[in-house]
């Protein structure tokens, strides 16, 4: 289907451009959300009549989005979830979950603003793009952990994921091996020390009395 874009759409084009999209995408998303019009002669004429108004509206919403972006830029949102020892979540973290965490922290964000390629399925720290306007994106940090304490540890740079768990296990094994080696060396040194034997003193003989 050929459509006229009423705002900039990522990977499609800018306001006023006529582009071809799949019918389902147009009918289910672009048209009902007033992001585009069918590219008919009447709609093209209508768009040209309304262009100035649409551009002014876009500029106003973009300015508002830029103000909101400054308020959340650099923020970190903690999501506590159950996970196994390897760091794999029992479930996943979705755009809705991130939006709810941001809203709980006082940020004006909804799930349509959150852009993630796929749900998050393991603990860790992720950078997520928040699109407050088609031309305004800001990165935020999402800290997914099993507890608030683990979230703080991850924020300090500790790796609690599957890779980190393996590394910690290897470090523990290496530390235990060094401890056992040190104990063996101490024991060997003790075995090598000469044992001083104290000879019993000779008993004085009683003088013979004739």
**Residue 187: what pLDDT?**
67
Asked whether residue 59 is assigned to any structural domain, the reply reads: yes
**Residue 74: what pLDDT?**
87
**Residue 190: what pLDDT?**
67
Alpha-carbon separation of residue 73 from 10, 129, 135, 144 (angstroms): 21, 10, 15, 18
CATH of the domain at 36: 3.40.5.10
Do residues 118 and 46 share a domain? no
204 vs 134: which has the higher pLDDT:
134
**Residue 174: what pLDDT?**
64
Do residues 113 and 158 share a domain? yes
Do residues 81 and 150 share a domain? yes
Alpha-carbon separation of residue 90 from 118, 175, 176 (angstroms): 16, 32, 32
Do residues 13 and 82 share a domain? no
**Residue 149: what pLDDT?**
94
**Residue 209: what pLDDT?**
44
Q: Examine the fold and report which residue of 21, 45, 72 is the final residue of a domain before the chain moves on.
A: 72
Asked whether residue 92 is assigned to any structural domain, the reply reads: yes
pLDDT in tens, 33-51: 999 999 999 999 999 999 9
Collect contacts of 93-101 with beta carbons under 8 A, ≥24 apart. Answer: 93/119, 93/120, 93/121, 93/142, 93/144, 94/119, 94/120, 98/128, 98/142, 101/77, 101/142
pLDDT in tens, 140-199: 999 999 999 999 999 999 988 755 555 555 555 566 667 777 776 766 666 666 555 445
Domain encompassing residue 159 = 76-163
Do residues 26 and 38 share a domain? yes
3-class DSSP state of 24: helix
**Residue 11: what pLDDT?**
85
């Amino acid at each position: 289907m050929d459509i006229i874009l009423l705002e900039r759409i990522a990977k499609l084009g800018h306001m006023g451009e006529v582009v071809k999209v799949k019918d389902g995408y147009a009918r289910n998303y672009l048209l009902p959300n007033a992001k585009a019009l069918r590219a008919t002669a009447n709609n093209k004429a209508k768009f040209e009549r309304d262009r100035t108004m649409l551009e002014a509206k876009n500029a106003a919403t973009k300015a508002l989005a830029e103000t909101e972006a400054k308020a959340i830029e650099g923020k970190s949102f903690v999501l506590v979830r159950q996970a196994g020892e390897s760091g794999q979540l029992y479930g996943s973290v979705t755009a809705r979950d991130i939006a709810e965490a941001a809203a709980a922290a006082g940020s004006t964000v909804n799930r349509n603003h959150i852009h993630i390629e796929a749900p998050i399925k393991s603990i860790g720290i992720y950078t997520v793009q928040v699109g407050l306007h088609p031309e305004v994106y800001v990165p935020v940090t999402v800290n997914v952990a099993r507890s608030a304490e683990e979230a703080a540890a991850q924020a300090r740079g500790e790796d609690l994921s599957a890779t980190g768990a393996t590394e910690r296990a290897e470090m523990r094994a290496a530390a235990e091996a060094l401890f056992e080696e040190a104990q063996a060396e101490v024991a060997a040194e003790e075995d090598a020390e000469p044992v001083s034997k104290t000879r019993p003193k000779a008993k004085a003989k009683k003088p013979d009395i004739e």
